[in-house]
Each structure stands twice: as C-alpha cells, then as structure tokens.
Amino acid sequence: MDNTMKMKVASTILALGAAGALVLSGCSSSDRGGDSDKTSDAKGFAQDSVIGVALPQKTSENWVLAQNLFEDGLKSAGYKPIVQFANSGVSEQQNQIQAMVEKGAKVIVVGAIDGSQLGNQLKAAADQGVKVIAYDRLLLNTDAVDIYEAFDNFKVGELQGQALLDGLKARKGGGPYNIELISGSPDDANSKPFFEGAMSVLNPKIKDGTLKVVSGQTTQQQTATQGWKPENAQNRMDTILSANYKDKDLDGVLSPNDTLARAALTSAKQAGKPVPVITGQDSEVESVKSIMAGVQYSTIYKDTRELVKASIDAVNAYQKGDEPTVTDTKSYNNGVKVVPANLLKPIIVTKDNAAEVYANDSTLAPLTK
C-alpha cells in the first residue's frame, strides 16, 4: 500500500473538572510565578497569549463538545482563547482565521470545513510566525501547517469495514449480502481515508461475490454526502431503495458516521425494509441508544477529550519553544509537504463492548446500563 492509500487522512458539557484534566501538561499558577515568568525563551511565547481555534459547522455532538473543552482547557492553562464556529461556510472560516492572525494569536488550531481552501489565510499566519495545528482534518495544499492532531482515520475505515462484515455474519447468517455504501462530504479531507480504509476490507468480498452493491455505486464520488447532511444521505438512500430494492432486502450499509447512519435507517424503515446492519462513528448519544437497543450495529469511539488534550499539549510545547509529540512522519502528504502527525487510537463499539469502552465517559456510560 502506497502513501496515498495510507494517507490516514455528548452534547452534554462535561464538568469543569474534566476540562482541568485536559491541561495536565499546562502550567499551574505556581509554575507561572511573577510577570518575569510570563514569557518563554526566544523560540516560545507568553503564557497569556491569544490562541485561536477555528472550528467548522456544528454538524456533530463532538464539535460542540470540542468548543467547550478548548475554551475551558486553554483558559485553565492561562491563555486567551478565541474559539469560533464557521456555520456560514468556508468564507466565514477564512475571515475568522485572518482575524485571529490580526489579533496576535500565537497558535491557531484549525478544524477545517474544506482543508484545501485556507491556503492564503494559513500563509498569512505562518508569515507572522503563528504555529498552525490541523485538528481532526488534514489541511491540504499548503506548507503552512506544523502538525496534524487526529485519530487514525484510515484505521477508522478499516474498523468500520470489518464491523460491517462481522455484523452481517452475526445478524444475517451466511451470504451473499446486498449492501450499499455511504461516504462523507467530498470537501472534508477525512472522507477519503474513511472510505479507502473501509474499502480495503470490503473490496475483496465484493470481488468474490460475498457482498453485492446492488446500486452499483462503489466510488467515493458516487457515494458522497455533501456537507455531511443527513437529508442528503436519506434522499440518496430513498432513491436507491425505490430503484433497486423493490423485490430485495437491504442487508447492510457502510456509513461513515452516526448522523448518516440514522438517516439511512430512517430511509430503510420508511421503505418497509428490515433493519440493515449499519456502521457509524462519533458515539453520538442517539446512536449509542440505538446500538444498545439492537438497531444500529456499531459506532467508533474517538474520545474528543483526548484529542483536545493532545492539541492543548501541542500548544503548551510551542509556548515553551519545544516540539510537540509526533507519532507519524511519513503518511500524511497534503500535496505540498508531509505533515508530522500525532495519531490517537479509534475504538470500534458494538453492544457487546459498549459498557467497557464507555466506562469512563460520564455521558455515555449510563446509556449502557
């Protein structure tokens, strides 16, 4: 597998105590001492500096949680955070990043709407010595990005593909199986590694006849869901079911996240079809409830608290004039440079292991009782 293939490319606010845990690597008031300690060495910056966090639209519970964790965690570490969503789209995010540069931000954490559309703003940031952290989604076609903080997104896809196979065998018995594929928004850099990771598992089974994609829609372009909007996924599934499944059952659906999984389940129900085996991601509250009720088969747990903490750890390293932790220096070629990455481990969740996986999550653990 070459580097291109390997480019790996809830709503409840946690208690403030959890936010404090995010910044274990931050400095306490006793660490900071007096005014003379407020600045680091020549390569670092003041501990009370502005830190920008540019987030995309509020398309999932995890983004809302990230907003609160960044605000609380950065404040607890002594910084002045500017945390913003760009609900109006790419142009708003471009303007927000530019404004963060103008306000003197020393680090900007970017969860991009479209990672290929921020080149000018990121260059302006780099020209001012601003460190840029790509958060969750890779920033593309620019050398003005210092580190990629994310879960291993190719692995996410592999886990989803294997979960679909496991669920089909467990719920539907022997094959062959009729399935359909859903992929994420084409302007989200994560959509490609999610889909490619899953297809690395599913393609051999499609080729040997175990799986049949009845619609024939097997490419990322054909299966994409613009904007990650559930209505787009549901409308597409409605069309597929009416055109291809009048006399067939839909056995399974590869879905890249929970929101789209629920949309596909709604489509199948409205078409009068049995519940298909369906994957997901993000461990959203409604989908965890669905998994425990035996409806949605699986999701992926990517603890937002861990990812925000890793990102704040990187900010702290830059503040001291150090380099943050990196676990991968080869896989993430963004078209201009190979971006150093710090990858966290995703976890597949089914009804069988949900209680164990969510044991330390105060929002999700009660749902497994």
Query: Both 309 and 275 in a single domain?
Result: no
Query: Both 110 and 220 in a single domain?
Result: no
Query: Both 210 and 84 in a single domain?
Result: no
Q: Which two tokens stand for residue 146?
A: 């210092």
Instruction: Give the confidence band of 31 by pLDDT, cuts at 50, 70, 90.
Output: very low
Residue 11 inside a domain? The answer is: no
Residue 4 inside a domain? The answer is: no
Residue 20 inside a domain? The answer is: yes
- What pLDDT is attached to residue 43? 78
List Cα–Cα distances, 156 to 177, 198, 220, in angstroms. 22, 8, 16
- What pLDDT is attached to residue 20? 39
Residues facing residue 150 across a β-bridge = 343
Mean pLDDT of 113-122: 96
- Among 1-5, 230-234, 283-287, 309-313, name the one with the lowest average pLDDT: 1-5
Query: Both 207 and 281 in a single domain?
Result: yes
Domain end position, chosen among 271, 301, 331: 301
Three-state SS for 309-335 is HHHHHHHHHHHCCCCCCCCECCCCECC
Residue 366 inside a domain? The answer is: no
168 CB contacts (<8 Å, ≥6 apart)?
Answer: 175, 177, 179, 251, 252, 277
Instruction: Give the confidence band of 34 by pLDDT, cuts at 50, 70, 90.
Output: very low
Task: Report the candidate in 255, 208, 249, 251 with the shortest Cα–Cα distance to residue 236.
Answer: 255
- What pLDDT is attached to residue 24? 36
Exposed/middle/buried for residue 328 (C-beta within 10 Å: 0-12, 13-18, 19+): middle
pLDDT digits (tens, 9 = 90+) for 55-103: 999 877 889 999 999 999 999 999 999 999 999 999 999 999 999 999 9
Number of domains in the chain: 2
Query: Both 76 and 168 in a single domain?
Result: no
Query: Both 35 and 132 in a single domain?
Result: yes
- What pLDDT is attached to residue 21? 39
Mean pLDDT of 193-209: 97
- What pLDDT is attached to residue 61? 83
Residue 42 has pLDDT above 70, yes or no: no
- What pLDDT is attached to residue 60? 79
Residue 367 inside a domain? The answer is: no
- What pLDDT is attached to residue 55? 97
- What pLDDT is attached to residue 368? 97
Residue 350 has pLDDT above 90, yes or no: yes
CA torsion sign for 121, 126, 128, 131 is positive
Mean pLDDT of 49-53: 98
Query: Both 159 and 294 in a single domain?
Result: yes
> Rounded to whole angstroms, how far apart are CA atoms 308 and 66?
7
- What pLDDT is attached to residue 62? 87
Kind of pairing, strands 177-181 and 252-254?
parallel
Residue with tokens 């996240």: 257
- What pLDDT is attached to residue 359? 96
Query: Both 20 and 138 in a single domain?
Result: yes
> Rounded to whole angstroms, how far apart are CA atoms 136 and 133?
9
Query: Both 157 and 296 in a single domain?
Result: yes
CATH number of the domain within which 168 lies:
3.40.50.2300
Select the more confidently predicted residue: 148 or 31. 148
Query: Both 127 and 181 in a single domain?
Result: no
Q: Which domain holds residue 287?
A: 153-301
**Chain-wide mean pLDDT for the chain?**
90
- What pLDDT is attached to residue 35? 37
Domain end position, chosen among 268, 301, 334: 301
Strand blocks (E) in the chain: 50-55, 80-85, 107-110, 131-135, 147-151, 177-181, 211-213, 252-254, 277-278, 299-301, 341-344, 347-349
- DSSP 3-state assignment of 338? strand
Query: Both 63 and 126 in a single domain?
Result: yes
Query: Both 118 and 171 in a single domain?
Result: no
pLDDT digits (tens, 9 = 90+) for 291-347: 999 999 999 999 999 999 999 999 999 999 999 999 999 999 999 999 999 999 999
Residue 139 has pLDDT above 70, yes or no: yes
Mean pLDDT of 125-139: 97
